[in-house]
């Protein structure tokens, strides 16, 4: 994993990201226009990163939307032949760190119900299942599991001082 660099995504990365997006999510891949729109808001409410080898080969990407104390993982993709090597964990770590830097109290995401590997990753990072969006992924009619991780906890409320 040490040979992978996670850095900010640029418009120059879009051809490689789109190729990977099509390979990973053929039924519901994001379009170039969708990705360009996300990148256009990179400094305000979006944070998109790529994982690349020292030779500049793109092997993963991820995106976050963060505003108003809440963040949402928009996407995470890792090339199939590079899975299991910590790239997804590195990308998710960067998104969680950015959510914290932006003052988010919680991070939400949707994950396909038929993707146990991704669910295990999110659970390892402290995400809990909070709901289900029935038939969310189309055209395959696959449910989305909604997960959440709290980043900051509020102090206990309603405590009284002990009597002596």
Whether residue 96 is contained in a domain is answered as: yes
CA–CA separation, 159 and 16 (whole Å): 54
Is a pLDDT exceeding 80 seen at residue 17? yes
Residue 122 annotated to the active site: yes
Whether residue 161 is contained in a domain is answered as: no
pTM listed for this prediction = 0.88
Instruction: Tell me which residue range forms the domain holding 98.
Output: 5-150
Whether residue 65 is contained in a domain is answered as: yes
> How high does pLDDT run on average in the chain?
90
Identified catalytic residue from 48, 61, 122, 137: 122
What is residue 89's predicted lDDT score, i.e. its pLDDT?
95
Whether residue 156 is contained in a domain is answered as: no
Whether residue 143 is contained in a domain is answered as: yes
Identified catalytic residue from 110, 123, 129, 162: 110
Residue 35: what are its φ and ψ, rounded to 5°? -65, -40
Q: How many domains does the chain have?
A: 1
Is a pLDDT exceeding 80 seen at residue 106? yes
What is residue 164's predicted lDDT score, i.e. its pLDDT?
41
Integer-rounded Cα Rg, in Å, for the chain is 17
Whether residue 91 is contained in a domain is answered as: yes
The CATH number given to whatever domain includes residue 29 is: 3.40.630.30
The mean per-residue pLDDT over the stretch 6-10 comes to 96
CA–CA separation, 150 and 106 (whole Å): 4
Residue 110 annotated to the active site: yes
What is residue 139's predicted lDDT score, i.e. its pLDDT?
87
Number of separate helices (H) and strands (E) present in the chain: 4, 7
Rounded to whole angstroms, what are the CA distances from 85 to 62, 63, 79, 104, 162? 16, 19, 11, 28, 51
Per residue in 112-156, pLDDT (tens digit) is 999 998 999 999 999 999 999 999 998 889 999 999 999 975 555
Whether residue 164 is contained in a domain is answered as: no
């Amino acid at each position: 994993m040490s040979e992978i660099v996670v850095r900010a995504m640029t418009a120059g990365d879009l051809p490689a990201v789109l190729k990977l997006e099509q390979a990973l999510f053929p039924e519901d891949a994001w379009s170039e226009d969708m990705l360009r729109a996300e990148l256009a808001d990179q400094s305000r409410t979006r944070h998109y990163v790529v994982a690349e080898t020292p030779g500049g080969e793109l092997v993963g990407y991820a995106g976050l939307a963060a505003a108003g104390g809440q963040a949402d993982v928009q996407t995470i993709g890792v090339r199939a032949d590079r899975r299991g090597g910590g790239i997804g964990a590195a990308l998710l770590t960067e998104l969680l760190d950015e959510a914290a830097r932006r003052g988010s109290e919680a991070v939400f995401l949707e994950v396909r119900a038929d993707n146990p590997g991704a669910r295990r990753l999110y659970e390892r990072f402290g995400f809990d299942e909070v709901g289900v969006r029935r038939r969310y992924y189309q055209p395959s009619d696959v449910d989305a599991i909604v997960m959440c991780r709290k980043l900051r906890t509020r102090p206990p409320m309603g405590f009284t001082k002990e009597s002596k």
